[in-house]
């Protein structure tokens, strides 16, 4: 089944909920960037959270997440929008450690715990909304939870997980975000807290084949969830040869002539999807003419 995301309400509209199956999407990121298992888990958790956060936006709005925890994978960058498109990368994809004490991939060690998680939202206005919080855990689920509570003042719970196959491909990935609406009663909060303390890790639910709808039923209780919308999601990059051509033109004639003199061609690589675009000498000459 292809990846998709659900938006839902629960407990008579007191709780807003999102859940996603992102196995193929994270798998595409793993394939493009050749991430090793611990790096895959960190990137995959961030992509799952990012695509759900993108689904909270409207229209052409988009956001960028940057996690810089000071760990060996360096920065994690994720872009997403309101249409289910997401892309992302880590500075150092070749990071892997032995499993931690809980027998899980040691994401905290890879991400680090001394840094920040920042979110910049482009909501079509001149000034972008941006929020930044310190990394509190490095496991990322708790860090996104802390971001919502601190930066957006929305009591939330974020669960994200990734399971990796022995050959480094992605076995399962996904997540959920629960958000309490203003005025949620104490009884509902207690019920949700009790359920969250008992459910298995999110990646285990996905590995068992649970759909996003079934994940929300597990987290919130059967019969409590009202699905509002389902949306396909995918790893999608907006890069193109044309965009890179425009970037080369903006360098100016002298710089382009240097490329022609030194290399007789130019190569441009997209950080997000690892696609490489080659510009021949003739193409560079054309771009140089345009730069005039």
Q: Which residue reads 């709005």 in tokens?
A: 61
Please state, in angstroms and rounded to a whole number, the distance separating the CA atoms of residues 105 and 107.
6
Please state, in angstroms and rounded to a whole number, the distance separating the CA atoms of residues 86 and 191.
33
Q: Which residue reads 């992302």 in tokens?
A: 88
* pLDDT, tens digit only, all 292 positions of the chain: 699 999 999 999 999 999 999 999 999 999 999 999 999 999 999 999 999 999 999 998 999 999 999 999 999 999 999 999 999 999 999 999 998 888 889 999 999 999 999 999 987 777 778 899 999 999 999 999 999 999 999 999 999 999 999 999 999 999 999 999 998 999 999 999 999 999 888 888 988 989 999 999 999 988 999 999 999 999 988 877 788 888 888 888 888 887 888 888 888 888 888 888 788 877 877 877 787 7
Beta-strand ranges (E) seen in the chain are 4-10, 15-21, 62-68, 75-81, 85-90, 116-122, 129-134, 156-164, 170-180, 225-232, 234-235, 266-269, 276-279
| Cα 240 versus chain centre, distance | 21
Give DSSP secondary structure letters for 98-142: ---TTSS--HHHHH-SSSEEEEEEE-SSSSPEEEEEE-SSSSSHH
The dihedrals phi and psi of 124, each to the nearest 5 degrees, come to 80, 10
Q: What is the pLDDT of residue 85?
A: 96
Please state, in angstroms and rounded to a whole number, the distance separating the CA atoms of residues 46 and 89.
10
Q: What Å distances lie between residue 134 and 131, 172, 222, 231, CA to CA?
A: 11, 28, 35, 31
| pTM for this model (two decimals) | 0.90
Please state, in angstroms and rounded to a whole number, the distance separating the CA atoms of residues 110 and 162.
14
Q: What is the pLDDT of residue 263?
A: 81
All domains in the chain, ordered by first residue? 4-235 (3.55.30.10), 241-291 (3.90.1280.10)
């Amino acid at each position: 089944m292809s990846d998709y995301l659900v938006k839902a309400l629960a407990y008579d509209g007191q709780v807003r909920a999102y859940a996603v199956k992102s196995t193929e999407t994270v798998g595409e990121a793993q394939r493009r960037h050749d991430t090793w298992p611990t790096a895959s888990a960190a990137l995959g958790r961030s992509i799952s959270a990012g695509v759900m956060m993108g689904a909270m936006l409207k229209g052409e709005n988009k956001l960028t997440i940057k996690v810089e925890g000071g760990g060996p994978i360096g920065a994690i960058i994720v872009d997403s929008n309101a249409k289910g498109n997401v892309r992302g990368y880590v500075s150092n994809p070749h990071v892997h450690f032995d499993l931690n004490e809980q027998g899980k991939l040691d994401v905290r060690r890879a991400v680090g715990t001394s840094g920040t998680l920042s979110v910049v939202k482009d909501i079509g206005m001149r000034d972008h909304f941006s929020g930044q919080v310190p990394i509190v855990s490095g496991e990322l689920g708790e860090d996104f939870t802390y971001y919502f509570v601190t930066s957006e003042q929305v009591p939330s719970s974020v669960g994200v997980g990734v399971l990796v196959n022995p050959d480094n491909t992605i076995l399962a990935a996904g997540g959920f975000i629960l958000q309490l609406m203003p005025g949620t009663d104490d009884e509902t909060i207690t019920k949700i807290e009790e359920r969250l303390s008992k459910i298995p890790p999110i990646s285990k639910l996905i590995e068992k084949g649970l759909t996003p709808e079934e994940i929300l039923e597990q987290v919130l209780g059967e019969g409590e969830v009202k699905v509002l919308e389902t949306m396909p999601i995918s790893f999608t990059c907006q890069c193109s040869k044309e965009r890179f051509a425009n970037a080369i033109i903006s360098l100016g004639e002298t710089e382009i002539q240097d490329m022609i003199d030194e290399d007789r061609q130019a190569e441009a690589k997209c950080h997000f999807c690892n696609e490489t675009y080659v510009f021949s000498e003739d193409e560079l000459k054309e771009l140089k003419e345009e730069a005039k």
